[in-house]
């Protein structure tokens, strides 16, 4: 029972029993960030969701190879027809930096943020620019199989031909090729080199001013965004692997086109199960940078945002995310964060109580014993049911009431066996730390004795140092003031900043 997972496959639009292609092994690919700007909390939600899925699969004993890429070339602002510029090249031009400086800066920031939210690093984190020869080869394979054509040095995927011959274009996103034709009719005058408006570029000829380009059989240019994920997933997980994930805003065109490319090159789709996380909203609207409806992690930690009344810690945010299912939207509001803070503290305090409370011995097996065991089983069943963290969490909170009842004397240890009590202790440790990936911010170290607080403080002080280097005094002072509120004093010296409590 514990090992049978059902997961919702976006491709079949139903829950399916998870059966890895090779028993005991799981290959999972998740689309990573495009590193041209700071990661926002919406991005973080998607990576936290897949972190929990990864952790749970590992917990169940699967040997998981988790690949999460870094997009460092090819993601355009707009489309190639409308002269869309590569997002990283554009930022490099605006900031007068080398494109690789832009990539390094935002990739470092992304990694810092993943550490702060206790997101485990993937097994492999490949970068698109490190796989140009493989991408050129896939373009050639698609051309050779008759699903792509070259025009003036760029190469386009022949979508109508593929749709007609394979019958699968649109299967993932639910879009119909006829609708796509109708949708893009207005654009016909802009379609430029494409034979059809729904065709998409897999190799793009670079104009002479373009900062990132590579030689290829067709032109000096760069790969289309969708291509990198087809290539890197196949390279590291094989032509057919288990799970492909990402935010549901990537279903179309990114994932639909990935499926088309893999079919075009290898004759079949890459992944067996497609998992899509839903969006983080703020006050009811999608969190997105474009319309200012966003809050950065720094603003969350300092409280410096009109959207929140106070600062919130990384683990409160992680707990907040656990409270909703990954396929549901999650609305970030100040009230919801306040409630999450309370819930997080209650859970961690109950666990401290549980771990510190020894069974007095000499107990029989009563109804309470059965209830506890049942709730433990149910918590696992909820996770097995498409990784339902809010329901699993609800079971843990029912157990929290039992723990508090036993501590307060309203419930009797006489009804609980020592084995059940020890099982409960282990279950809480496993769920809180291994599966949910929470850390105890109220303790100086995590359950394994690692100095979590030290690590977090170093990261926060690093962020403050970066703000100071950038002369962003507002942010650096905010961080210092927020720490002061927590009675943490920061001293700036020549060797860097140090901190003391009290």
List residues binding Zn ion (CB under 5 A).
Answer: 31, 229
| Least Å from the CB of residue 55 to ligand AMP | 18
Kindly list the distances between the CA atom of residue 368 and the CA atoms of 208, 297, 349, 353, 411, in Å, as whole numbers in the listed order: 74, 42, 21, 18, 8
Q: Please, what is the minimum distance in Å from the beta carbon of residue 475 to Zn ion?
A: 31
Q: Does 247 sit near ligand AMP (CB under 6 A)?
A: yes
| Residue 343 is a binding residue for ligand AMP (CB under 6 A) | no
Looking at the DSSP assignment, which residues form a beta bridge with residue 68? Answer: 30
Q: Identify the CA nearest to 359 among candidates 417, 429, 404.
A: 417
Q: Is 47 helix (H, G, I), strand (E, B) or coil?
A: helix
Other Cβ atoms within 10 Å of 110 Cβ, number:
20
Q: Measure the CA–CA gap between 388 and 403, rounded to whole angstroms.
A: 23
- Site for ligand AMP, residues 287 to 326, rule: CB under 6 A: 287
Give the shortest CB-121-to-Zn ion separation in angstroms.
18
Tell me the closest approach of the beta carbon of residue 254 to Zn ion, in angstroms.
5
Minimum distance from CB of 448 to Zn ion (Å)? 33
Q: Which of 34, 159, 313, 439 binds ligand AMP (CB under 6 A)?
A: 34
| Of residues 170 and 224, the one with the C-beta less far from Zn ion | 224
Query: Residue 115, exposed/middle/buried by CB under 10 A (0-12, 13-18, 19+)?
Result: middle
Q: Based on the number of CB atoms within 10 Å of its own CB, is 338 exposed (0-12), middle (13-18) or buried (19 or more)? A: middle
**How many C-beta atoms surround the C-beta of residue 61 within 10 A?**
10
240 binds, among Zn ion, ligand AMP, none (CB under 5 to 8 A by kind): none
Find where tokens 């079971």 sit. Answer: 395
Coil vs helix vs strand at 361:
coil
Residue 127 DSSP code? B
Which of these segments, 41-49, 145-153, 305-313, 454-462, binds ligand AMP (CB under 6 A)? 41-49
Choices 77-85, 149-157, 204-212, 244-252 (CB under 6 A): range interacting with ligand AMP: 244-252
Residue number, 54 or 147, with CB nearest to ligand AMP: 54
The set of residues, in sequence order, having a beta carbon less than 8 Å from that of 305 and lying 6+ positions away, is 295, 299
Contacting ligand AMP (CB under 6 A), which of 20, 26, 45, 255? 45
Q: Which is nearer to Zn ion, 31 or 383 (CB)?
A: 31
Nearer to ligand AMP, 45 or 325 (CB): 45
Rounded Cα distance, 64 and 122, in Å: 10
Give 240 or 468: the residue with its C-beta nearer to Zn ion. 240
Residue 251 interacts with ligand AMP (CB under 6 A): yes or no: no
Q: What are phi and psi of 194, to 5 degrees?
A: -70, 145
Residue among 132 and 229 whose Cβ is closer to Zn ion:
229
Please, are residues 203 and 217 in contact by the beta-carbon 8 Å criterion? no
C-beta closer to ligand AMP: residue 249 or 492 = 249
Q: Which stretch binds ligand AMP (CB under 6 A): 59-67, 133-141, 246-254, 360-368?
A: 246-254
- Out of 27, 33, 99, 223, point to the residue binding ligand AMP (CB under 6 A): 33
Rg of the Cα atoms in the chain:
25
Select from ligand AMP, Zn ion, none the partner in contact with residue 42, using the beta carbon and a kind-dependent cut-off of 5 to 8 Å: ligand AMP
Query: Which residues, numbered 253-292, are part of the site for ligand AMP (CB under 6 A)?
Result: 279-280, 286-287
161: contact with ligand AMP by CB under 6 A: no
Is the distance from CB of 435 to CB of 52 less than 8 angstroms? yes
Residue nearest to ligand AMP (CB): 247
User: Quick one: what does residue 229 bind among Zn ion, ligand AMP, none, with the CB cut-off 5 to 8 Å set by partner type?
Assistant: Zn ion
d(C-alpha 221, C-alpha 22), whole Å: 38
* Closest distance of CB 153 from ligand AMP, Å: 26
Burial of 335 from C-beta contacts in 10 A (0-12 / 13-18 / 19+): exposed
Instruction: Please report how close the Cβ of residue 68 comes to ligand AMP at its closest, in angstroms.
Output: 10
Looking from the CA of 49 toward its CB, the CA atoms found within 13 Å total 30
In whole angstroms, the minimum distance from the beta carbon of 322 to ligand AMP comes to 15
Residue 20 binding partner per list Zn ion, ligand AMP, none, with a CB distance cut-off of 5 to 8 Å that depends on partner kind: none
Distance CA 248, CA 267 (A): 25
Binding ligand AMP (rule: CB under 6 A), the pick from 223, 246, 314, 343 is: 246
Stretch that binds ligand AMP, among 6-14, 28-36, 181-189, 354-362 (CB under 6 A): 28-36
Closer to Zn ion by Cβ: residue 231 or 432: 231
- Name the E strands within 34-161: 63-68, 148-151, 154-157
Q: In terms of C-beta density within 10 A (0-12 exposed, 13-18 middle, 19 or more buried), how is residue 247 classed?
A: buried
**How, if at all, do strands 154-157 and 200-205 pair?**
antiparallel
Q: Is the distance from CB of 167 to CB of 177 less than 8 angstroms?
A: no
Q: How far is the CB of 178 from ligand AMP (least distance, A)?
A: 27
Binding mask 188-227 for ligand AMP (x = CB under 6 A): ----------------------------------------
By CB under 6 A, how many residues form the interface with ligand AMP? 15
The rounded distance, in Å, linking the Cα atoms of 227 and 313 is 37
Which residues contribute to the site for ligand AMP (CB under 6 A)?
31, 33-34, 42-43, 45-46, 246-247, 249-250, 279-280, 286-287
């Amino acid at each position: 029972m514990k090992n049978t997972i059902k997961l919702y496959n976006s491709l079949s639009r139903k829950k399916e029993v998870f059966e890895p292609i090779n028993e005991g092994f799981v290959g999972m690919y998740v689309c990573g960030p495009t590193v041209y700007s700071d990661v926002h909390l919406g991005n973080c939600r998607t990576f936290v969701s897949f972190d929990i899925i990864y952790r749970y699969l590992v917990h169940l004993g699967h040997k998981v190879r988790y690949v999460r890429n870094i997009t460092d070339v090819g993601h355009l602002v707009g489309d190639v027809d409308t002269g869309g510029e590569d997002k990283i090249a554009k930022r490099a031009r605006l900031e007068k930096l080398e494109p690789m400086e832009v990539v390094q800066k935002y990739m470092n920031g992304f990694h810092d943020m993943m550490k702060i939210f206790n997101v485990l690093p993937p097994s492999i984190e490949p970068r698109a620019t490190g796989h140009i020869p493989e991408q050129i080869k896939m373009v050639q394979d698609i051309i050779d199989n008759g699903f792509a054509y070259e025009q003036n040095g760029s190469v386009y995927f022949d979508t109508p031909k593929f749709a007609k011959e394979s019958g699968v274009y649109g299967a993932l996103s639910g879009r119909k090729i006829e609708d796509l034709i109708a949708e893009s009719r207005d654009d016909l005058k802009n379609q430029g080199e494409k034979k059809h408006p729904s065709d998409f570029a897999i190799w793009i000829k670079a104009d002479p001013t373009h900062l990132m380009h590579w030689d290829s059989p067709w032109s000096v240019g760069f790969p289309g965004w969708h291509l990198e994920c087809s290539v890197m997933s196949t390279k590291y997980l094989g032509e057919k692997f288990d799970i492909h994930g990402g935010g549901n805003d990537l279903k179309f065109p990114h994932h639909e086109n990935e499926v088309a490319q893999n079919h075009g090159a290898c004759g079949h789709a890459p992944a067996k199960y497609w998992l899509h996380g839903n969006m983080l909203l703020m006050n009811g609207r999608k969190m997105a940078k474009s319309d200012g409806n966003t809050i950065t992690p720094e603003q969350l930690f300092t409280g410096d945002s009109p959207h929140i009344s106070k600062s919130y810690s990384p683990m409160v945010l992680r707990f907040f995310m656990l409270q909703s299912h990954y396929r549901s939207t999650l609305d970030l509001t100040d009230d919801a964060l306040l409630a999450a803070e309370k819930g997080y503290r209650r859970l961690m305090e109950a666990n401290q109580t549980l771990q510190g409370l020894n069974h007095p011995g000499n107990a029989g097996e009563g109804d309470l014993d059965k209830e506890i065991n049942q709730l433990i089983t149910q918590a696992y069943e909820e996770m097995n049911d498409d990784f339902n963290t809010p329901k699993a969490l609800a079971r843990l909170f029912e157990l929290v009431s039992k723990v508090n009842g036993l501590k307060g004397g309203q419930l009797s240890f006489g009804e609980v066996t020592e084995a059940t009590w020890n099982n409960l202790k282990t279950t809480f440790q496993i769920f809180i730390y291994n599966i949910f990936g929470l850390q105890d911010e109220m303790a100086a170290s995590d359950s394994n004795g690692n100095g979590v607080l030290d690590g977090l403080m170093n990261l926060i002080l690093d962020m403050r140092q970066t703000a100071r280097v950038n002369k962003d005094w507002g942010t650096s002072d905010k961080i210092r003031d927020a720490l002061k509120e927590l009675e943490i004093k920061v001293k700036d010296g020549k060797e860097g900043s140090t901190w003391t409590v009290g």
